[in-house]
Amino acid sequence: MENCIFCKIIKGELPSYKIYEDEHNLAFLDINPTTEGHTLVVPKQHFVNFEDIPEEELKKTILIVKKIGKKLKDGLGVESYNVCENNDLAAGQLIPHIHFHLIPRHGNDNLKPWPQTSYSEGRAEEVLKKIKIN
């Protein structure tokens, strides 16, 4: 994709702080990190979102996400990390090339990923009927 920022990073047309690279995936530091070490993992092939990426490619990518997560814990000494994939614009996906965020976390960092609510009486059952598989 010619105007995709991630495709330009993959091709070496834009600079990045590469953490990992193989023939299928690239991992690099986010230039606007939530916390120090915030890393993006992207497949080298251009896929728009979670539904677009073929399962075999997704498997390759998620294994790299796991590898990078362990390295964040070992290398930075962080307690935990969030793995996030913002799927499409309304969910916060700013670049339409599937990517996974790994955000290092410490117990006292006060980051709250999203607010929680509750279902009104009977609403959970209504939602369940619409999305249940099997």
46 assigned to active site: no
Q: Cα(81)–Cα(102) distance, rounded to whole angstroms?
A: 6
Cα-based torsion angle of the residue sequence 7, 83, 105, 115 in order, rounded to the nearest 10 degrees: 110
Choose the catalytic residue: 38, 97, 99, 101: 99
Reduced to 3 states (helix: H, G, I; strand: E, B; else coil), residue 40 is strand
Q: How far is CA 57 from the centre of its chain?
A: 15
- 39 within 8 A of 101, measured Cβ to Cβ: yes
Q: Cα(56)–Cα(51) distance, rounded to whole angstroms?
A: 13
Q: Cα(115)–Cα(45) distance, rounded to whole angstroms?
A: 34
Residues with catalytic roles: 99
